[in-house]
Amino acid sequence: MSEPFNACHYLLDRRIEQGDGGRLALTGPGGDLTYAQLHERVRRTAAGLRGIGLLPEQRLVMYMADSPDFVTVFLAALRIGAVPVPVSTMLRADGLAELLRDSRAALLAVTREFAAAGAEAAAAAPELAGVLVGGGCSIGTALPVHALDDLAAAEPDGGPYATTADSPAFWLYTSGTTGTPKAAMHRHGSIEVVCRTYGRHVLGIRPDDRCLSAAKAFFAYGLGNSVLFPLSVGAATILEPAPSRPEPLAERARTFGATLFFAGPTFFANMLHAGLPRGALGGVRLATSAGEVLPASLYHRWTEHFGVDILDGIGMTEMLHIFMSNRQGAVRPGTTGVAVPGYDLRILDEHGNAVPPGTPGTLYVRGESTATGYWSRYHASREVFQGEWLCTGDTYVQDADGYYTCLGRTGDMLKASGIWVSPTEVEARLLEHEAVAEAAVVAALDEDGLEKPVAYVVAETGAAVTEEELIAFCRQGLPAVKRPRRVVFIDSLPTTATGKVRRAELRVRAAGVLGGPHREAALS
């Protein structure tokens, strides 16, 4: 039999055992909790969840803002062997209902901001047995309603459920490459793995750190930043319930003393556009980036302005967190760095053969934090989880020094005049122009039905730049075949909830653009 291991004990009880009960665990607009206070609240909530009938391995969907209630529910569910399922608060009621039905959730937990949508979704989820509400809010539903404050009044439990490292712990939904939501199923042991690998060896998180994440905790990236990493070492997390915006988040960093800051390229760009002063992040010692490629030009602009280094990396929901990253003191802008200790990487061609350095191919990763598969998605699981290896769906190339550079999603690569063109390479060149704020490059068919690159560009406020000027600028810095054949100016790029550019939407808009007007309406 495997040794007992419960992730709640690893993150919370262990802190109490090591004498950290008086240390600050959670802070922010939702108030402060020490480790001892959080431990007490989680133990009582765990007992309360058992009391209302939640059983081991039953799902509890969390439609909640980043808050002490979020952390409490997540840990309490782990503690009793149930399966918390944090989901995006960007979902509308119909999308939430779909996930409730797909997961066959027994309970839904909501915070005040999302009570109305939660009630509507609950009505369309016939297997749902009850709703948990935080913040003293009410909710209109015929189902049994349980206030989290009432659950937290139960007598504390006696200890965590007897899970092992391989027991089901939590699910995270991802659209991946298919566009359809599917739940990546993670083990209890995966939490310890990512804390030991990325948290310790790359981030170098310390007990005196305070973590602030623009990415919300319902994302794998945000969950690690705001919950897993800080609690694993006795650090504090700053929880921001409102949608992330540059000015408010910079104020939170100042008010609550953030030392580690987590975001993505789009958010870093927005911080520059917001005109924040150079000292806005004066207490931050390090920033990290994930979610999409961080262009070298954006890295230089941001670090020069704010004086804080950024470690760019790549992670996947299926891997729980970052498995490849730049390192402190060894950043190579424009690259994604090297493998995080504990992970193996390889690049394969279309026939499944390893390619030498300098040759593009699809990136595969192997590590102990890999999800066990997708819930009820047999064929999708077989495509992505290939034995010990996971297919990322990203095209990468490794240089002679071992650093990896992303050339885009495997499906985003295009071939112009028989030459492979990386969208990120063209985007990086466009972003070097002082008048370009954001850029995304996709393939469009010309009059002969051949693929050519088309650029969608958001100009800097007040900048005067023409399509011809940007095409000429690209021609000067890139092989002629890689220059965009058209530049379409738009007010904003379409993005997902995590800030990734919705390239599929741009590809649809680009159909016929090589013979169309020079300017299109803003995308929403």
Q: Model confidence over 147-196: pLDDT tens digits? A: 999 999 999 998 999 999 999 999 999 875 445 789 999 999 999 999 99
Question: What would the 3-class secondary structure string for 215-284 be?
Answer: CCCCCHHHHHHHHHHHHHHCCEEECCCCCCCHHHHHHHHHHHCCCEEEECHHHHHHHHHCCCCHHHHCCC
pTM as predicted: 0.87
Distance CA 331, CA 325 (A): 9
The DSSP bridge partners found for residue 187 are: 168
% of residues, the chain, pLDDT over 70 = 97
Residue 516 has pLDDT above 70, yes or no: no
pLDDT value for 515: 58
Question: What radius of gyration do the chain's Cα atoms show?
Answer: 23
Distance CA 435, CA 386 (A): 44
pLDDT value for 256: 98
Put the strands of the sheet holding 286-289 in their side by side order: 33-34, 24-27, 236-238, 210-213, 260-263, 286-289, 310-315, 322-325, 338-339
Nearest alpha-carbon partner for 326 in 287, 298, 362, 384: 287
User: Is the Cβ–Cβ distance between 132 and 119 less than 8 Å?
Assistant: no
User: Is the Cβ–Cβ distance between 451 and 416 less than 8 Å?
Assistant: yes
In the chain, what is the straight-line distance between the N-terminal and C-terminal CA atoms, in Å?
53
Q: What is the DSSP letter of 495?
A: B
Q: How far is CA 381 from CA 175, 188, 319, 378, 421, in A?
A: 13, 20, 13, 5, 29
Distance CA 472, CA 489 (A): 16
Distance CA 71, CA 65 (A): 10
Which token pair is 261? 């800051």
Q: How far is CA 117 from CA 96, 151, 456, in A?
A: 8, 22, 34
Phi, psi of 430 (to 5 degrees): -60, -40
Q: Model confidence over 6-21: pLDDT tens digits? A: 999 999 999 999 999 9
Q: What domains are there in the chain, each with its CATH number? A: 7-186 (3.40.50.980), 414-515 (3.30.300.30)
Which token pair is 231? 């609690």
> Mean per-residue pLDDT for 101-126?
97
Q: How far is CA 294 from CA 186, 301, 408, 427, 429, in A?
A: 27, 11, 12, 11, 13
Q: What is the DSSP letter of 202?
A: I
User: Which region among 110-114, 288-292, 453-457 has the lowest average model confidence (pLDDT)?
Assistant: 288-292
Q: Model confidence over 240-261: pLDDT tens digits? A: 999 999 999 999 999 999 999 9
